[in-house]
Amino acid sequence: MSDTPRLLTPRDWASHSQYVYPPYKSTVLRGPTKPLVPLTPALKNLNAPVYGHDLVGELDHDLTRNAVRNGEPLGERIIVTGRVTDEDGRPVRNTLIEIWQANAAGRYVHKVDQHDAPLDPNFLGAGRCMTDDDGRYTFITIKPGAYPWGNHPNAWRPNHIHLSLFGQYFASRLVTQMYFPGDPLLAYDPIFQGTPEQARERLVAQFSLDVTRADWALGYVFDIVLRGPQQTPME
């Protein structure tokens, strides 16, 4: 996903959750149980599709404005920013990042989500942007609410934002989740707890007063490292 060819360090598999983690029940059904099949060099370097890198709109990064119909979306405004880097701290430029999330009441704009919480007509819960020359990205959004899910009795997902990163090749999509500091639900969430303990804090954003915009929105920093000993855990 970098724009400069270089030798890569081995992926740190110890930073990622297991494919099958029984406390997260759906992995038992969908997680691979047979050895993975390595991609051939030809597939690894397939240059298409390019995932719409050149079609990012002016408001795509601003979820407080990109779906407005008749007013501002409800909830706490936040700014989420960070850098995408390789294992040596070098910026990963021109990478397409997409995010999706629940609204402030903890509901997604999706027909499968039947949580008894209101939809917000002015909030889609999806956005995207490109990293700049310093590898930085920025989103303006609404802090997502917690919501119940059917994994186990009285199960609630912590506040979180999904992030998807696309590289320049067919097989170079990575997906992760960003959580918020101090969330009491993290201790009960099997998705977060399924991440090896030494790597969990890499999934938690840091509050930043520098990023916070006075009288308007709180700021959070979530850096993403693609490889190496400080690699961000991926799904």
157 is catalytic: yes
Q: Which of 162, 173, 200, 202 is catalytic?
A: 162
β pairing state of 77-85 and 224-225: parallel
Note the Cα 185 to chain centre separation in Å.
18
Q: Which of 24, 108, 137, 179 is catalytic?
A: 108
Residue by residue, DSSP assigns 95-135 as -EEEEE---TTS--SSTT---SS---TT---EEEEE--TTS
Other beta carbons within 10 angstroms of residue 42's beta carbon come to: 8
Q: Which of 61, 160, 220, 227 is catalytic?
A: 160
Q: Which of 157, 179, 220, 227 is catalytic?
A: 157
Backbone angles phi, psi at 64, to 5 degrees: -85, -5
160 is catalytic: yes
Q: Which of 24, 147, 179, 220 is catalytic?
A: 147
108 is catalytic: yes
Burial class of residue 36 in the structure, from the number of CB atoms within 10 Å of its CB (0-12 exposed, 13-18 middle, 19+ buried): exposed
Instruction: Tell me if 220 sits within 8 A of 79, measured CB to CB.
Output: yes
Angle at 190 between CA 186 and CA 191, to 5 degrees: 85
Measured distance CA(47)–CA(183) in Å, rounded: 40
**Active site members:** 108, 147, 157, 160, 162
